[in-house]
């Protein structure tokens, strides 16, 4: 599999884009092999160690798939906060696109628990970056704060971020 990953860009691209489906097909094949060859008194056709080796062979495709997932999400976050723009507030449409993309990424991998956890880890990275960008927008939009001055209000940017997070939690 590693040679396929490095040798052919077509095979690599196909397996990376369709990795959730490929993984599902491999898991189904392994389950059928175990189920169909389960005969009393006979060793199983495939051992757990063999399953792990086969799944480990798919590791480069999984890594590439997760990198593409992260890039797709980061592109949307970076579009919300254009470089060099001060105190920009993401539009409702931009927030909706990010929420939809997160839902699509989760939906695509929901059949495999390990892959789902990996994708959720990438989503967590994106949400961390998003919160940092929101905090930075709040920081640059507020006047200088002294030790005696405490802010008791939430800015528009903080309100937008709170709304964004609550939409994700509800979805």
Q: What is the reported pLDDT for 3?
A: 57
Distance CA 94, CA 59 (A): 33
Q: What is the reported pLDDT for 101?
A: 96
Q: What is the reported pLDDT for 25?
A: 92
Confidence of residue 160 (pLDDT cuts 50, 70, 90): confident
Confidence of residue 50 (pLDDT cuts 50, 70, 90): confident
Q: What is the reported pLDDT for 57?
A: 87
Q: What is the reported pLDDT for 146?
A: 47
Taking the CB of residue 112, how many other CB atoms lie within 10 A of it?
A: 17
Based on the structure, what is the number of domains in the chain? 1
DSSP summary character for residue 110: T
Q: Which domain holds residue 6?
A: 2-170
Q: What is the reported pLDDT for 90?
A: 85
Q: What is the reported pLDDT for 13?
A: 83
pLDDT at 97 over 90: yes
Distance CA 20, CA 109 (A): 6
């Amino acid at each position: 599999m590693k040679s396929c990953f490095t040798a052919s860009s077509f095979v690599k691209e196909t397996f990376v884009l369709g990795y959730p489906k490929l993984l599902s097909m491999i898991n189904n094949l392994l389950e059928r092999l175990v189920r169909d060859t389960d005969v009393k008194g006979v060793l199983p056709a495939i051992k757990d160690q063999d399953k792990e080796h086969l799944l480990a062979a798919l590791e480069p495709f999984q890594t590439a798939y997760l990198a593409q997932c992260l890039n797709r999400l980061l592109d949307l976050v970076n579009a919300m906060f254009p470089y060099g723009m001060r105190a920009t507030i993401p539009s409702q449409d931009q927030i909706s696109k990010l929420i939809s993309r997160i839902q699509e990424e989760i939906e695509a991998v929901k059949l495999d628990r390990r892959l789902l956890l990996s994708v959720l880890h990438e989503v967590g990275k994106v949400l961390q970056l998003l919160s940092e960008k929101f905090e930075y927008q709040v920081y640059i939009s507020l006047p200088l704060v002294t030790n005696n001055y405490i802010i008791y209000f939430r800015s528009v940017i903080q309100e937008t971020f709170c709304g964004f997070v609550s939409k994700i939690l509800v979805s």
